[in-house]
Structure formats: structure tokens, C-alpha cells
């Protein structure tokens, strides 16, 4: 068990345990000051001090402690069979500790599950930690070293590619200090899936790697006018803008992506594409066009939650409104942008939102607020 645990979790581990006996034992532990009851959650307890938990654990031999972790993991699998994702981090911990005796298969399975869950809930540091553990366990299991050369996929299997895909997305979310690692990791996942012929996964990886070279290779694999092509074109336009400054090529890619989104009635793809187009217009000082597209994204966000796209739209809406002398609207969008960044917790997005709010506060002459955003 961890620092916090439940009565039924204990019962699932101890065979033939009687709830009344467990309650008596836990009552004594509470009265003795070893554990506390979790407020408002009957049947949940936590150690009063982590040192208490550590001392109890160190009172067991290493073999017994390892076997106990395995038993706890198996019991929790049964107890939480209806919600393994929600308890995947806990399961990954126990099966990881049990790995010297039971192997790493379940540790890897639950680390990947916990990593995906963390990414979905914007817990990027937790995701990075889980995928790193999965990767280390996988490499240790195969006793091989994954080459740093993205084109060398000799030691990569499907599970390793899945881990690399999660690891790369986690590294990218923690930008910018791990961006180079993210590009290398995602490139390896791309090359493996390309060799394996898994086109859908190739597209998934390419959407996150986002270079013209990789996206162009992926575009050559998908049917013209397909939903997969629309997803890639939406990203390809961005890559063309950043890498080549090809304004006409970018607009064509976005137009084709938008056509596919509308034909397939896909508001999520429309939202992503129109947000990217708003950024393009803003960067080329097409203020009114950027504002119109940004406000369309904000409207779509009411029906299709995409906080990353809405954050960018709020930023460019704030920028456009300020450029047009509409400071009150700019402040409203900047504040919403910061709320979204605090929710997402990605360093680069938080920096963008803070910069927007600091700039508006400084231009307004509110130096105290501007300094608070800088700090």
C-alpha cells in the first residue's frame, strides 16, 4: 500500500480477513498515532508520518517486501478491475517494486496506462516519469540499447514504439528544455510504425513531430480527401510556416484541411485548423482576419473542448483586440488565456499567457500587476 490506503484494499490483500477485526486493528493504529483517518472519506487512512511507513517497510526482508508488493498489485487488480486506468499509477508502483521476482511485463503495461492517463489530464511531469520508467524497464527486459539514430529501428518492437510515442509527447509537453529529446524519440516511433505499415499510428506520431519532412512522408501514405489527410494538412501548414515561410503553401494546406473538416462535419479538425490559420494571420499582421478566426475557435470551444487550441485563440484574440485599440476585450481574452495555461501546466503555454498579461498590464501602466506576471 502507499502513504494513503483503504480498508477494503487491506482486506483484498489479507486472505480470510474479517472487516470487524480490521476495524479494531485500524482503530488501535489511529489511537496510537500511527495513522489518521482521511477526512470525509470513511474507510480511508494515511500514515501520520512517512517515516512511520518507511520504518514498517524496512522491518521486512527485501524478499518478503517484494513478494508483498506483488500480492498487493494482484489484489488491487481485482479490486479495481472496473477502473484500472484510474488506479494505474498505483498498480505501476507495486508491480515495479515486484519486478525482480515477477518480471516487468505488468510494470510496463501499467506505466504506459498511467502515462496516457496523465497526458489526458495535463499532468505532464507525471506522464514523463511514467513513460521513462516504462522505457527503462523495457530496455532492461530486452537487454539491448535503443539506438539514438532515429532511422535505426532494429531493437524496437510495437510496445517499445508505443512507449516512445508517449515519452516523446511528454517530453514535448515539458518544452523547451527537452524538445530535442522529444524530436528524437518521436522520430524513432515514426520510423518503426512506418516500417510496420501502421498508417494510423504514423499519422498520430507525425501530428506531434510536426516537421515538413515527416509530415510530407505521412501525407504520401494516406488517401486524398481522407480524414487522415485533413489531420496531417492542418499540421503541415504550421510546419511550412515555421520552416519555410511559404505563406501561399500554408494557406493552401489550411484550405484543404478545412474543406475536409467541413465535408466530414468534424468540428474538432475545423477548430484545430482555424486556430492555426488565426496564428498565421496574426504573425503576418492580418489583424482582422486573425481576430475573426480566433473568435470562431472560442465559439467552437463551447462545444468541442480543446484547451490547447482555445489558449492560442485567446492569445491571438487579445493581440488583435489590443492592436485595434480595444483594450478591455484584450484583457478579457488574456485573462482567459492565463486560466487555460494554469490548467494545462505546460511551461511554454504558461510563459505565453503570462507574457500576454504582463504586456497588457504594462501598457496600461499597472506596474504592480506587470511585475507579478513577470515573477
Predicted confidence (pLDDT) at residue 148 exceeds the cutoff of 60: no
List the domain boundaries for the chain: 1-59, 85-209
Instruction: Please compute the mean of the pLDDT values over residues 269-297 and round it to a whole number.
Output: 96
Is pLDDT above 70 for 237? yes
Name the pLDDT band for 253 (thresholds 50, 70, 90): very high
pLDDT mean across residues, the chain: 89
Q: What is the pLDDT of residue 154?
A: 60
Residue 86 has pLDDT above 70, yes or no: yes
Flag whether pLDDT at 4 surpasses 80: no
Query: Above 80 in pLDDT, residue 263?
Result: yes
**Residue-level pLDDT at 328:** 95
pLDDT at residue 24 tops 90: no
CB distance 297 to 278 below 8 Å: yes
DSSP conformation letters of 189-221: HHHHHHHHT-HHHHHHHHHHH--HHHHHHHHTT
d(CA 5, CA 8): 9
Preceding amide of 176 cis, omega within 30: yes
Supply the angle between the helices 158-173 and 199-209 in degrees, to the nearest 10.
Answer: 20
Nearest to 9 by CA among 46, 57, 48, 55: 46
User: Which one is predicted more confidently, 308 or 19?
Assistant: 308
Within 13 Å, how many C-alpha atoms sit on residue 200's CB side?
A: 2
Amino acid at each position: 500500500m502507499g502513504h494513503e490506503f483503504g480498508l477494503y484494499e487491506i482486506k483484498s490483500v489479507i486472505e480470510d480477513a474479517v472487516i470487524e477485526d480490521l476495524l479494531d486493528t485500524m482503530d488501535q493504529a489511529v489511537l496510537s498515532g500511527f495513522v489518521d483517518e482521511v477526512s470525509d472519506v470513511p474507510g480511508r487512512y494515511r500514515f501520520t508520518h512517512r517515516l512511520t511507513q518507511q520504518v514498517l517497510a524496512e522491518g521486512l526482508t527485501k524478499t518478503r517486501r517484494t513478494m508483498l508488493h506483488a500480492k498487493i498489485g494482484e489484489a488491487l487488480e481485482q479490486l479495481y478491475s472496473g477502473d484500472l486506468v484510474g488506479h494505474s499509477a498505483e498498480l505501476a508502483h507495486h508491480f515495479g517494486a515486484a519486478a525482480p521476482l515477477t518480471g516487468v511485463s505488468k510494470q510496463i503495461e501499467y506505466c504506459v496506462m498511467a502515462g496516457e492517463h496523465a497526458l489526458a489530464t495535463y499532468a505532464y511531469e507525471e506522464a514523463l516519469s511514467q513513460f521513462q520508467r516504462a522505457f527503462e524497464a523495457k530496455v532492461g527486459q530486452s537487454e539491448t540499447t535503443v539506438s539514438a539514430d532515429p532511422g535505426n529501428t532494429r531493437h524496437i518492437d510495437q510496445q517499445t514504439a508505443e512507449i516512445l510515442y508517449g515519452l516523446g509527447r511528454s517530453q514535448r509537453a515539458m518544452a523547451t528544455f527537452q524538445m530535442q529529446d522529444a524530436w528524437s524519440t518521436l522520430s524513432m516511433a515514426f520510423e518503426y510504425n512506418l516500417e510496420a505499415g501502421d498508417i494510423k499510428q504514423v499519422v498520430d506520431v507525425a501530428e506531434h513531430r510536426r516537421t515538413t519532412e515527416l509530415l510530407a512522408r505521412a501525407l504520401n501514405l494516406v488517401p486524398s480527401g481522407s480524414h487522415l489527410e485533413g489531420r496531417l494538412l492542418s499540421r503541415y501548414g504550421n510546419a511550412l510556416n515555421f520552416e519555410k515561410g511559404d505563406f501561399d503553401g500554408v494557406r493552401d494546406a489550411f484550405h484543404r484541411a478545412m474543406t475536409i473538416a467541413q465535408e466530414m462535419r468534424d468540428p474538432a479538425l475545423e477548430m484545430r485548423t482555424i486556430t492555426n490559420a488565426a496564428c498565421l494571420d496574426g504573425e503576418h499582421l492580418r489583424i482582422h482576419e486573425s481576430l475573426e478566426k480566433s473568435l470562431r475557435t472560442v465559439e467552437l470551444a463551447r462545444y468541442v473542448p480543446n484547451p490547447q487550441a482555445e489558449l492560442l485563440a485567446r492569445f491571438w484574440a487579445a493581440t488583435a483586440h489590443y492592436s485595434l485599440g480595444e483594450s478591455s476585450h484584450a484583457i478579457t481574452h488574456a485573462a482567459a488565456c492565463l486560466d487555460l495555461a494554469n490548467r494545462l501546466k505546460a511551461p511554454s503555454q504558461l510563459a505565453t499567457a503570462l507574457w500576454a498579461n504582463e504586456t497588457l498590464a504594462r501598457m496600461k501602466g499597472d506596474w504592480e500587476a506587470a511585475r507579478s506576471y513577470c515573477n
